[in-house]
Amino acid sequence: MKKNQWMYLLAGLLIVMAIVLICIPYIKNLQESDKAFAIKNIEKVNRILLINNSGDTADLTLDKNAWHVNHKFKVKAFAIKNLLETIQYVKVDYPVSKAGHNNVLKDLMQNNTRVAIFTGDSEPEKVYYVGGPNVTNTGTFMIMELAGEMAKRPYVTSIIGGAGYLTGNYTAKADDWRSNQIFSYPSKDIKSIKIEYPLKPEGSFEIDNTDPEKPSIIPLLNTMSIDIPADNKRLKEYISYFNEGYAENYISYYQNIDTILMTTAYCNITIVDNKGDKNLLRIYHKPISERSKQQFDEQGNPMEYDMDKFIGAINNDKEFVLIQFYSFGKFFKKYMQFFGQATSVSKKSK
């Protein structure tokens, strides 16, 4: 009987040891997976879905070597570069302490951005939640999603050789991702460009680019004529500017925008491409504000308008952008500037 007991005991011990040996790798992998935030095969990432607790969604997708947000707008190149580098190089610094665990976990559940990373399949390869920074702003709280649920332990993370505050790289606000580029026309794709100055029509003109090698220009004020040909080099250079035209940012809200739209525009820019599609940008003077660099003119009188920035209306006046003269001034050419210095102007009778 004692012999049988020893055999049963030995068998039981062997079973327990077998279970332990089988479970140890599983437990170890589980422990490792709850902090494996980085994606090593970054070149395979083709979609990143960001959703925050406020209901904002930024669905970033790679299509024909270009990233888009919410399947509508091109993404800022530097923003997607930062995010991909973060996804690739994020590392765990240390687990949240037991003393701070409950508070951090509570905050993560209430204020987070859920990050789902896809590498070609319909299901994400990795999902985790990004919270705010730690007290010293040297790390960011993150917690993995495992089997559809938050893992048990949050971690403080940072970038290898880089910054610790990562929350901003994972913004779920679509406007934060949307490219500020409002002109992206190769010269060969432009059919015509019309520049109108309603308050100073003598500077208005239209360029016909049907033949990109020999574009032509006409004044929009029909009482004006110039007796020499336009400078072909200047015309082609000006047309090339429309390959890259950037606003400072998009304006989701601007006080008194309706009042501004009722004023006369400073400049209207209309581009027609070879497909016949039209792109109209209306540019308005921006009223002076306390943030304007120049508050007074040379005589000491208060300025009415900001000299450095304009308000732009696009997409049939449904969206608005802030435009800097510094980067956009190259588009504000006048008709006379496409001719030689010794240019004679004759006025025709109406």
Q: What confidence tens digit (pLDDT) does each residue in 152-166 have? A: 899 999 998 777 789
Residue 337 lies in a domain: yes
Band of residue 228 on the pLDDT scale cut at 50, 70, 90:
confident
User: Which pTM does this prediction carry?
Assistant: 0.73
Residue 18 lies in a domain: no
Position 61: which residue type?
T
Least confident interval from 92-106, 171-185, 198-212, 332-346? 332-346
Same domain, 215 and 162: no
Q: How far is CA 268 from the centre of its chain?
A: 25
Task: Report the pLDDT averaged over residues 53-62.
Answer: 96
| Cα(77)–Cα(84) distance, integer angstroms | 11
Residue 257 lies in a domain: yes
Stronger pLDDT, 18 or 274, i.e. the higher one:
274
Identify whether the C-beta of residue 51 lies closer than 8 Å to the C-beta of residue 114: yes
Handedness of CA 328, 189, 236, 267 (dihedral sign): negative
| Cα(193)–Cα(273) distance, integer angstroms | 9
Residue 9 lies in a domain: no
> What pLDDT shows up at residue 297?
66
Alpha helix segments (H runs only) across the chain:
2-33, 77-89, 98-110, 174-177, 232-240, 257-261, 325-328
Stronger pLDDT, 90 or 27, i.e. the higher one:
90
Q: What confidence tens digit (pLDDT) does each residue in 244-257 have? A: 999 998 887 777 78
Task: Report the pLDDT averaged over residues 257-286.
Answer: 93
Same domain, 210 and 125: no
Q: What residues pair up with 49 in beta bridges, in sequence order?
A: 59, 116
> What pLDDT shows up at residue 9?
61
Residue 347 in this model has a pLDDT that exceeds 50:
no
| Cα(231)–Cα(157) distance, integer angstroms | 58
Task: Report the pLDDT averaged over residues 46-51.
Answer: 98
> What domain range is 116 assigned to?
37-177
Residue 3 lies in a domain: no
Residue 23 in this model has a pLDDT that exceeds 70:
no
Task: Report the pLDDT averaged over residues 287-291.
Answer: 71
Same domain, 196 and 308: yes
At residue 88, the 3 state secondary structure works out as helix
At residue 42, the 3 state secondary structure works out as helix
| Cα(133)–Cα(141) distance, integer angstroms | 6
Identify whether the C-beta of residue 34 lies closer than 8 Å to the C-beta of residue 26: no
Residue 300 in this model has a pLDDT that exceeds 80:
no
Same domain, 205 and 334: yes
Stronger pLDDT, 349 or 259, i.e. the higher one:
259
Residue 326 lies in a domain: yes
